[in-house]
Structure 1
Amino acid sequence: MNQTISKLSIVIPAYNEGKTIYRILDKITEVQLLNNIQKEVIIVNDCSKDDTKEAVERYMQQSSLSIVLYNHEINKGKGAALHTGIKQATGDLVIIQDADLEYDPHEYNVLLKPVLDGFADVVYGSRFMGGNAHRILFFWHSIGNKVLTTLSNMFTNLNLTDMETCYKLFRREIIQRLDLKETRFGFEPEVTAKISRQPDIRIYEVGISYYGRTYAEGKKINWKDGFRAIYCILKYNLFR
């Protein structure tokens, strides 16, 4: 799958991020991508109850960053917002970016390098490998992530260390041809299961930093999403 990479589509699902979304957009603006790759930012506002829509519109008026904003009229969930953004992407590559500050856009080049070097078609950014900075937070979250990754690996026959990571980079034609169904946090195990079955797809993993948030700071995932992830691992691997 050798091809020239000229544009990266950055898909951002956003829900009630009006107070801080400018900060992630500032970070994306600062990033100089390898090989002068251009950036396309696609923000999907999932019917936020705050001023997320207005905050993005204000930012667009004063920024040189290429931003496209889509607004869901009803709240559909993170996965549904990702479906919208992925469908609208026009870049050669697509990367998932949360609207919060847990993941650092300055590491895009780390994920891009295996693709640009001709080795990878899909790259996962792992929070559990490498020597990068990691905020120390929730013990049971880390155990839960490892259990979910191990369970997923058992069915997909991959040896990922962080299936639940936000940072996933895909060649656009690969991710757009998947028939994705999950509308909430089940996106991660579903896309991993379906990617693993694609013929001749080369999957790589690189270490990234992680600046996790507490629930008071806006973290949204909870134990119910963990059980949904288990259900999705079984559903999309056993009952496909």
Structure 2
Amino acid sequence: MSSPPTLSIVIPAFNEGRTIHRILDRVREVALIGGLTKQVIVVDDASTDDTEAAVRRYQDAHPTFDIQYHHHRVNRGKGAALHTGIARATGDYLIIQDADLEYDPREYNDLLPPLLDGVADVVYGSRFQGSKPHRILFFWHTIGNKFLTTLSNVFNNLNLTDMETCYKLFRTELVQSLYLEEERFGFEPEVTAKVARIPGVRIYEVGISYYGRTYADGKKIGWRDGVRAIYCIVKYGIK
């Protein structure tokens, strides 16, 4: 009998020591459809708080829950942490999970069906599609997200509603086949552009909920990252 497929869950983390145990709880507790097993990969991007100690405590408290922990000696950015996690994934499918509490791991089961049914290669979780809960926060962030998504769609001939979403689910071999360069938040437009250029790729979108953080809660993205995203959309869109 063949073993069940595995979902690799890549969690980039920077200074999330206060709450990372909570997202690990949610990942551990979710029962995946289709009998999928989990491979959890935490990549600590040179945190200056007790993120490493928090993960180590969690590993000790839950010895049967397999968490692979990797540590960058120098802070390089979210994209660099994702490069590390993607390279170490061995599952059949791979999803990106931020270490904060903005996205709900229970919704893996909403994203997985198109892949498990064999109709998709990539599934994006859209915060702007469907009727799931969505915390009301910053007007200009929403406008910025929609502008970046529209610009990305123009260059990549797609009709996504949320290019900047964290929840991107891939066939692992597909995302590992890409040469990814961006080490910060430019990862999102770069991976979207490079996926869109794969011949015959099948991209789906599924509505997800969003429990957004304020800057007081620890949100890190800023206007400079938006400017970089525009640059990346153009750079990778015309390659």
Q: TM-score range by the shorter chain?
A: over 0.9
> Conserved in 1, the CA contact under 8 Å of 2:128 and 2:161?
yes
Match for 2:190: what amino acid? Answer: E
RMSD across aligned C-alpha pairs, in angstroms? 1.1
What's the TM-score, normalizing by structure 2?
A: 0.98
> Conserved in 2, the CA contact under 8 Å of 1:145 and 1:164?
yes
Task: Tell me what 1:159 maps to.
Answer: 159
SS in structure 1 at match of 2:183: coil
Match for 1:139: what amino acid? Answer: F
Q: How far apart are residue 128 of structure 1 and its match?
A: 0.1
What's the TM-score, normalizing by structure 1?
A: 0.97
Work out the CA distance in 2 between the residues paired with 1:117 and 1:210.
Answer: 25
Unpaired segments ≥5 residues, structure 1: none
My pick for the range that moved more, 59-68 or 6-15, is 59-68
SS in structure 1 at match of 2:99: coil
Task: Tell me what 1:8 maps to.
Answer: 7
Task: Tell me what 1:199 maps to.
Answer: 199
Q: How far apart are residue 5 of structure 1 and its match?
A: 6.1
Match for 1:124: what amino acid? Answer: Y
Q: How far apart are residue 57 of structure 1 and its match?
A: 0.7
Task: Tell me what 2:49 maps to.
Answer: 50
Q: Which runs of 4+ in 1 moved over 2 A?
A: none
Q: How far apart are residue 237 of structure 1 and its match?
A: 1.0
Work out the CA distance in 1 between the residues paired with 2:174 and 2:4.
Answer: 14
> Conserved in 1, the CA contact under 8 Å of 2:7 and 2:38?
yes
Work out the CA distance in 2 between the residues paired with 1:143 and 1:211.
Answer: 18
Work out the CA distance in 1 between the residues paired with 2:4 and 2:90.
Answer: 12
Work out the CA distance in 1 between the residues paired with 2:27 and 2:44.
Answer: 18
Match for 1:199: what amino acid? Answer: P
Work out the CA distance in 2 between the residues paired with 1:79 and 1:49.
Answer: 18
Q: Count residues in correspondence.
A: 237
Task: Tell me what 2:24 maps to.
Answer: 25
Work out the CA distance in 1 between the residues paired with 2:39 and 2:140.
Answer: 36
Work out the CA distance in 2 between the residues paired with 1:61 and 1:22.
Answer: 12
Q: How far apart are residue 39 of structure 1 and its match?
A: 0.5
Work out the CA distance in 1 between the residues paired with 2:30 and 2:187.
Answer: 27
**In the TM superposition, what whole-angstrom CA distance separates every residue of 1:101-137 from its partner, at most 9, and x where no partner exists?**
0000000010101111121110000000000000000
